[in-house]
A and B are shown apart, each in its own frame.
Chain A
Amino acid sequence: MSMSQDTENFEQLRRLLAVKRHEQPPPRYFNDFSHHVIQRIKAGQRRTEGSFLDRLFDEAPWLQRVWGAFESQPILAGVCGVAVCGLLIGGVLFSDRAEVSPIVLVPGMETASTDQAQVTMAENPLFAKPVAVEPSSTSPISTARTDEMLLGDFAKLKAQPASFNFPGGN
């Protein structure tokens, strides 16, 4: 088949294919097309939002039963709502009261007032009583003044610059 015949036949085919360009969908079909697309997009978005609940119900089937009970008996939902609110308010009030009460550090101070609490530090056996420690044969450094170092002389401690003199050193 020569090129000219080939081209001519394709030209006839091109004319025949013109039929396809005259095929048209029903009248007003495109008037609603975009509306259907947008509706399907919105429906898909709603399904995506709903699928979170579905996943939750799959994880906890009891939740689905509770949800069903709430849907069938709205008064039950109301009662549960009131109970939850009551618990919440009670919890808030209780936490407020707990913040007001003093913090008890030492046993036996539950009834002490603030003034008493200031003077009991010295009376506390942990801080006030001198600890008698005998020199140990394994520890030549005496620990007899440990209590004074901890509490009594604590305020007297001062930072002093250290200087080291090495004999013959440079």
Chain B
Amino acid sequence: MIMTEPVSREASKPPDEPAQDSPAAPVPPEEMELVRRARKGDLSAYDDLVRRYQERIYATVYHMTSNHEDANDLAQEAFIKAYQALRTFKGGSSFYTWIYRIAVNKTINFLKQRKNKAQMSLDDLDFNAEHDPDLVALISEKTPRREAGLAELQEKLNEAMQKLSEPHRLVVTLHDVQGLSHEEIAKIMECNIGTVRSRLHYARQQLQAYLSDYLK
């Protein structure tokens, strides 16, 4: 079976993900200055760098673990490790790609070492979820279980995500949840774009099967 990419990036790009936040965007000079200062031990500069990327790094780790406490620890550890390894950062990629890679590797190692399936500790849905047109339509029209609320949908979705292997979960997280392009994901995962596409297609098929009751 030839795996093709059925959904373009534009179709799957989350509307709330600004394009200038992508890792492939040119590195702002002020960010390079922050990196240079942090490399010399300036913790206030590194504090600025952490504030820039903390939400996206946390979100990635959280979607991979479905556990707030684990995501908190792993995201913090990723930033700490990045600070310790800052001298090895040559600037060949953007700092964003670099810190992303550290966080992803740390999370995958953590998940591999975690023998037992951890209890999920999900974050609350924000207020806007109830008004998201996609979700409203999905609950009121498409879902056979019309009584299913957002909380149940959230739990089922996270359970299905946890059934995926780590690389497939990561691709879905980065592309369908966080809106990164195939090229950006390939850089972060250090693989080629074809691998990203095939993993994404397979992961979607898997998720579709797990969530078939909610997608009919």
User: How many chain-A residues does the 8 Å CB contact rule pick out?
Assistant: 32
B35 touches A (CB below 8 Å): no
Q: Are A14 and B176 in contact (CB under 8 A)?
A: yes
Q: How far apart are the CA atoms of A6 and B208 in the complex, in Å? A: 10
Q: Are B126 and A34 in contact (CB under 8 A)?
A: no
Q: In the complex, which residue of chain B has the Cβ closest to the Cβ of A3?
A: B6
Q: In the complex, which residue of chain B has the Cβ closest to the Cβ of A35?
A: B47
B132 touches A (CB below 8 Å): yes
Q: Mark B41-61, 1 if CB is under 8 A from A, else 0.
A: 001001100110011001000
Main secondary structure on B side of the interface with A: helix
Q: How far apart are the CA atoms of A13 and B93 in the complex, in Å? A: 32
Which residues does chain B contribute within 8 Å of A10, judged by CB atoms?
A: 6-7, 204, 208
The B-contacting residues of A in range 1-29, CB under 8 angstroms, are 3, 6-7, 9-26
Q: How far apart are the CA atoms of A15 and B83 in the complex, in Å? A: 37
Total A-B pairs, Cβ < 8 A: 121
Q: Are B125 and A33 in contact (CB under 8 A)?
A: no
Q: In the complex, which residue of chain A has the Cβ closest to the Cβ of B154?
A: A19
Among candidates B47, B84, B123, B204, residue contacting A13 with C-beta atoms closer than 8 Å: B204
Q: Are B126 and A22 in contact (CB under 8 A)?
A: yes
The A-contacting residues of B in range 133-184, CB under 8 angstroms, are 134-135, 137-138, 142, 150, 153-154, 157-158, 161, 172-173, 176-177
Among candidates A13, A15, A17, A38, residue contacting B50 with C-beta atoms closer than 8 Å: A38
Q: How far apart are the CA atoms of A16 and B156 in the complex, in Å? A: 10
The A-contacting residues of B in range 62-97, CB under 8 angstroms, are 62-63, 68, 72, 75-76, 79-80, 83-84
User: How many chain-B residues does the 8 Å CB contact rule pick out?
Assistant: 54
Q: In the complex, which residue of chain A has the Cβ closest to the Cβ of B83?
A: A41
Q: In the complex, which residue of chain B has the Cβ closest to the Cβ of A5?
A: B6
B30 touches A (CB below 8 Å): no
A37 touches B (CB below 8 Å): yes
Which of the listed residues A6, A34, A42 has the most CB atoms from chain B within 10 Å of its own CB? A34
Distance of A41 from chain B, by nearest CB (Å): 5
A30 touches B (CB below 8 Å): yes
Q: How far apart are the CA atoms of A9 and B76 in the complex, in Å? A: 37
Among candidates B122, B125, B215, residue contacting A9 with C-beta atoms closer than 8 Å: B215
Distance of B169 from chain A, by nearest CB (Å): 11
Q: Are A16 and B129 in contact (CB under 8 A)?
A: no
Q: How far apart are the CA atoms of A3 and B125 in the complex, in Å? A: 33
Q: Show the binding face of A for B, using Cβ within 8 Å.
A: 3, 6-7, 9-26, 30, 33-38, 40-42, 44
